Structure 1
């Protein structure tokens, strides 16, 4: 979404219409900018498409930490957008909110209290993240170049932490969400380094290896689809259809991407 997102499966809005659903439903989009599936839709996908497995202590701790780390990213980007008015920050902040939603869905599924909850912007239970938030915000307030460097730093750290958390997880739904978030963070890292390049500046990785960092930058923007499925034309999916036809863009009767049936976007 925008630059990057909680990927293909969270990319389409809530249009309505009746007609063929062969990868894309006929119908008129709902008139609002497409901003991704709702939190409720993602929660439904995580419940319907993945089993509820025993939650290890390591998985629980990583979910609690990632919930607030994604919040840190969102909160910093919103503040930096207010300061510098660069759309990169507002676009990616929206993506970070969707990342938070996905983690919140997992916490709800496993009946673990969300530490981010309804906490105000800039407020964290984790003291390390609280201090990091203050530092990043101060650093990013110096100049636009410094702000983009802060963005790259956050994504560098986020990717590193997600990769470690995924290695420690074995629950299918947790690994799928971490994979989607990692794709989004790689896209965000590419976006911030491009913006730095436009200012004739660059970023040196602090958490990822130079080899992995260079590999990420050499790749094109990624699309996901492992949570709710992916439609045959690359769009995200939401509703249900016989044979796994889950293409959204509204409500309608017709073909899903894997079979005939009724689908709801």
Structure 2
């Protein structure tokens, strides 16, 4: 039996778009006031928490799955927001945004369109599993195993992301490591444990959503997130800048790019 409510999904989708628009407008105002727009990176995780909250409140689908997804999205999103805030606090503009500002000549329209509207659209699309699931019926029968598998994948992802970030923070905090490449702990298995963990989080959330029809149809959301993490704005851009640092080419040769694998021994 299909208990999905298209009308409920439409309400969630519209309210989510409006909530993200307000969030991005506030973020733009803050960025303009403090003189740096990389504050939008803090809003990245918060936006998903906002959509998850909208889905949990507005949705009339299965309540246990609805609030499980909200709980998991909130843990991930708030942790990420706090991590990014700590990393960027007291520092200048991100080089990516500085380059965009230089090209735009300070034009407000270009900044809003290419940074804030783009992020809002990405947040809305990637969060579709949360929105669709909130309008779907209960998870039944063998599909409960898909739900459990999703929670397990989410846990693996969060651990990779959180542990990887903490290991890197401790490494950078030690003056003895200045000028060297982080290649310990999870960073010896993958050059991007935080991005790998991020991808796992969203594949886990998608699996939970896919445990009730038509959640499986939102598969493009984790695909797009993974694409951005690997090829677009995540690992690829970082590799481009890091490859110029002494020791990084050697690190690349012995360590897996994205998926964790045992390090090669030279």
- Note whether the superposition's TM-score is higher than 0.5: no
Structure 2 length-normalised TM: 0.37
Structure 1 length-normalised TM: 0.37
Higher strand share: 1
Greater RCO structure (CA 8 Å; 6+ sep): 1
